[in-house]
């Protein structure tokens, strides 16, 4: 995923907060970025633009605004700590990811042991649509590459659940998150049966 270390068309790269993701079009990608990082980005952009209006020179303005932008980022970070995200906000990359994984793992957990040819074809079609339609473009690209190397196993619920678990673990690895134990008992406990009493 391209993070803010590369330059954007609108701001000097040193002004972009960490975690800001640049889309394939070279512009900041909102649905590829967490809402925390996006809010910091918009705060910095405002500061840089205000300074740019005063000086008229965008490079000099960005340099001059850098300390002010750093304060704006720190202030926004502090606000994020105490202000919960409003419920009616559009999803960010994390919320969309959690919802999508929940749907996929749960659907796999309830997929038949012995699916009909029609059920297999529909599952394959659902999975193959993700790299084409998933709104976070970088996530979709990585998933597409991953699926080329590891074609979906739609033979039955156990194979599908494990296949999905492995794809999810590849994203976990990339994001530095812990791997999930892909044994069937752990998958069923998490996505179907719940913990034993």
- Using CB under 6 A as the criterion, which residues of the chain lie in contact with ligand FAD when the complex forms? 1, 93-94, 97-98, 100-101, 105, 134, 138-139, 142-143, 165, 168-169, 171-172, 175, 177, 180, 190
User: Cβ of residue 71: shortest distance to ligand FAD, in angstroms?
Assistant: 26
Q: Phi/psi at 3 (nearest 5 deg)?
A: -100, -175
Our CB check for ligand FAD shows the closer of 91 and 156 to be: 91
Closest residue to ligand FAD using C-beta atoms: 97
| CB 40, min distance to ligand FAD, A | 16
Indicate the DSSP class of residue 19.
Answer: T
**What's the gap between Cα 112 and its chain centre?**
29
Task: Give me 40's structure tokens.
Answer: 């910091």
DSSP assignments along 100-152, one per residue: HHHHHHHHHHTS-SS--HHHHHHHHHHHHHHHHH-SSHHHHHHHHHHHHHS--
CB of 129 to ligand FAD, least distance (A): 12
- Comparison of 47 and 143: residue with beta carbon closer to ligand FAD: 143
Give the distance from CA 142 to its chain's centroid: 11
Token pair 């597409």 is found at 144
The C-alpha angle 138, 143, 146, rounded to 5 degrees, equals 130
Q: How far is the CB of 52 from ligand FAD (least distance, A)?
A: 30
Cβ closer to ligand FAD: 62 or 138? 138
C-alpha 124/C-alpha 147 separation (Å) is 11
**Which of residues 69 and 143 has its CB atom nearest to ligand FAD in the complex?**
143
Name the residue nearer to ligand FAD (CB basis): 17 or 52.
17
Least distance from ligand FAD to the Cβ atom of residue 69, Å: 23
């Amino acid at each position: 995923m391209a993070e803010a270390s590369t330059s954007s068309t609108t701001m000097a790269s040193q002004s972009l907060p960490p975690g800001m993701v640049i889309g394939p079009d070279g512009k900041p990608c909102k649905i590829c970025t967490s809402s925390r990082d996006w809010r910091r980005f918009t705060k910095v952009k405002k500061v840089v633009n205000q300074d740019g209006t005063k000086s008229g020179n965008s490079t000099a303005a960005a340099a001059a605004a850098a300390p002010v932008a750093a304060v704006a980022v720190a202030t926004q970070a502090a606000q994020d700590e105490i202000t919960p995200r409003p419920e009616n906000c559009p999803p960010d990359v994390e919320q969309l990811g959690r919802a999508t994984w929940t749907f996929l793992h749960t659907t796999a957990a309830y997929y038949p042991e012995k699916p009909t040819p029609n059920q297999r074809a529909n599952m394959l079609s659902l999975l193959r649509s993700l790299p084409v339609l998933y709104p976070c473009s970088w996530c979709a690209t990585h998933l597409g590459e991953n699926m080329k190397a590891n074609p979906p196993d739609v033979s039955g619920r156990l194979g599908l659940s494990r296949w999905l678990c492995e794809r999810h673990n590849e994203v976990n690895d990339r994001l530095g998150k812990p791997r999930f134990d892909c044994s069937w008992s752990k998958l069923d406990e998490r996505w179907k049966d719940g913990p034993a009493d």
